[in-house]
Structure 1
């Protein structure tokens, strides 16, 4: 029996990821940072776009330092980038000793307990909590860091970086500057994607952007300086000519009138097209915006194509040049991060520039 593959013919949707755009976004961030080196955050499977191709593209673009959240993510990334510096944000968990040594991973130590257990094992980062109240040492614990700890990066994380005028942003920068003075001669890193665009006062010694690499707007109150590398095209599987008053989808939440025309698309919430887009989402057929009608179901959505000439097998843009992830996020009250990291496994993935 021949092996069944997820091809453009058998898949319900095609997810195209332009690696050259991701490289260009990295270079744009490097330009913003000036002489400050730029790391790359590739956690959550490269923000849903595929850590292997994405990390390889970023390495080709010049990135040498990478951050992931989980140890298993670091192990997977090591197989892709044997020479990269790979930092693990969750830190040095109990029982993870062998993984760090075997795969040459660098833990981000988040507590005095983790620091005590790591001593003498090699390079590490130290995370100081300057206002996020999530992970990291309290600032008044910094003077308890033992001498001789081989710290590569001293870091913190901004809570409100996308609002550079937020009082907490300025407070965190001041607090981190004070902490850096205590832990002298170590690389300091504060700037996430939005932090890169705050300005030199937030750059310190290492930028570590994530979402901006993948086209999410790091300056949400201004025009997006990044490019969108993602195009998700769903396939029309059936067209319906409505000849009598009826409804569409579960719960009969959307009424139809005679003369309307619907298309059913082979994408649903099992593919990461969020259920909260029910009767809110829009897709594009060429330059034409088309509304989603009725509830998003597990495998299907319906769109109103009244007045348009469409047929089964035709592709429509669920994410694309006219409706990037941030636009979908606005429609359903979430953020572009969630749109990207929910992109499903049933799509046929095509990498451009690989």
Structure 2
């Protein structure tokens, strides 16, 4: 249980009305905007968009989009129609792409909101063209080519046919998606770029996009005309083999609701999976898997448990993570640091999203997008 430097011990709630909730999530919008500006600079002459799906990666689509718009972002990507309609209300003049494409029956609402579906099948192409006839104009869209994900998109070998059959719409972008861009030396990156370039030859003059967050950092610089980062904007590490170049955006504190002393042999939590090896002091915090803290952060024989920062000390989760509570071993925390009503850090400068995800045997994307609605939320910057 290491001790954190005094400079990192500021774990009191921000000076404002004290939240009644037992968890406090602070989102630093200035850090979010700074991350976008850094990625935009790395993209060079390419435009930098932003992926804001899943409620802005769990941090609030409205606040996220306003901050990114203020930083200069003019192109956004969402997952589905409802997210797109929300995005249109927030950014009336932005280009908004819907990654789901044209889900059957959604074309009229997509067109009414002036959304651009990312079309990846001939059935979608036909439905979108038919909607254009109804609206009396060719409708804008992206053409999505699958270069390896085997998830969504046209096959690159069909590019010539797509180009002919897309004459009934107004394509604005040709796109694909990396599958291993977080691994800079993976040869699949070069193959995907080659397949994408081959497909592009059938669409002269049309903007191209393949780079996600990690793709922005690839040595090949496959930025083309538009990059579309997501995870990195919110503080996730786009270069897992190196130090995280992004600023942290989310900080999560939880309140201690109970403290008690245990004798050796006493157990904690469901099924008694943790047994006190010595006289121990334990603290219960008011957050659990209903708040987005994975049950997999429970200790296992092959993995350490999750941690919280208590008075500058790293204190492990003990027992099983439950729906509303996590118990911490605070035996070695500084005297007076673990008392009822005090705050501990679960996510922030000391424990970043990668560290929390690693100890929960998951990925940072899941951690961010599952942050619970029971937290008091504050936006800074």
Selected match of 1:107 from 117, 125, 130: 117
Given the superposition, is the C-alpha separation of residues 177 and 201 from structure 1 closer, same or farther in structure 2, using an over 3 Å criterion?
A: farther
- Supply the distance in 1 between the matched residues of 2:257 and 2:208 (Cα, whole angstroms): 53
How do 1:259-338 and structure 2 match up within 5 A? 259-279=279-299, 280-308=305-333, 309=336, 310-338=338-366
Counterpart for residue 195 of structure 2: 175
Counterpart for residue 6 of structure 2: none
- Supply the distance in 2 between the matched residues of 1:289 and 1:282 (Cα, whole angstroms): 6
Counterpart for residue 350 of structure 1: 378
3-state SS, counterpart of residue 82 of structure 1: coil
3-state SS, counterpart of residue 172 of structure 1: helix
Residue ranges of structure 1 left out of the alignment (5+ in a row): 1-6
Do 1:8 and 1:348's aligned partners in 2 also have CA atoms closer than 8 Å?
no
Deviation for aligned residue 1:110: 1.0
Given the superposition, is the C-alpha separation of residues 344 and 90 from structure 1 closer, same or farther in structure 2, using an over 3 Å criterion?
A: same
Deviations 1:122-163 (A, max 9, x none): 111000001111000001111112235311110000010101
| 2:70 paired with 1:60 | yes
3-state SS, counterpart of residue 52 of structure 1: helix
Do 2:310 and 2:330's aligned partners in 1 also have CA atoms closer than 8 Å?
no
Given the superposition, is the C-alpha separation of residues 132 and 210 from structure 1 closer, same or farther in structure 2, using an over 3 Å criterion?
A: same
| 2:243 paired with 1:223 | yes
3-state SS, counterpart of residue 197 of structure 2: helix
| 2:73 paired with 1:73 | no
Deviations 1:169-205 (A, max 9, x none): 1100011011111121100000000000014541111
Moved more, 175-184 or 246-255: 175-184
Selected match of 1:36 from 41, 46, 55: 46
Selected match of 2:272 from 244, 252, 256: 252
Counterpart for residue 10 of structure 2: none
| 2:30 paired with 1:20 | yes
Counterpart for residue 144 of structure 2: 127
Do 1:38 and 1:207's aligned partners in 2 also have CA atoms closer than 8 Å?
yes
Do 1:214 and 1:229's aligned partners in 2 also have CA atoms closer than 8 Å?
yes
Do 1:292 and 1:303's aligned partners in 2 also have CA atoms closer than 8 Å?
yes
- Supply the distance in 1 between the matched residues of 2:331 and 2:346 (Cα, whole angstroms): 18
- Supply the distance in 2 between the matched residues of 1:307 and 1:323 (Cα, whole angstroms): 18
Do 1:41 and 1:67's aligned partners in 2 also have CA atoms closer than 8 Å?
yes
How do 1:180-259 and structure 2 match up within 5 A? 180-199=200-219, 201-243=221-263, 245-257=265-277, 259=279
Deviation for aligned residue 1:278: 0.9
Do 1:33 and 1:200's aligned partners in 2 also have CA atoms closer than 8 Å?
no
- Supply the distance in 2 between the matched residues of 1:110 and 1:257 (Cα, whole angstroms): 57
3-state SS, counterpart of residue 236 of structure 1: strand
Residue ranges of structure 2 left out of the alignment (5+ in a row): 1-16, 133-137, 300-304
| 2:173 paired with 1:153 | yes
| 2:155 paired with 1:138 | yes
Do 2:232 and 2:238's aligned partners in 1 also have CA atoms closer than 8 Å?
yes
Moved more, 179-188 or 92-101: 92-101
Do 1:8 and 1:14's aligned partners in 2 also have CA atoms closer than 8 Å?
no
Selected match of 1:98 from 102, 108, 114: 108
Q: CA RMSD in A?
A: 1.3
- Supply the distance in 1 between the matched residues of 2:112 and 2:53 (Cα, whole angstroms): 20
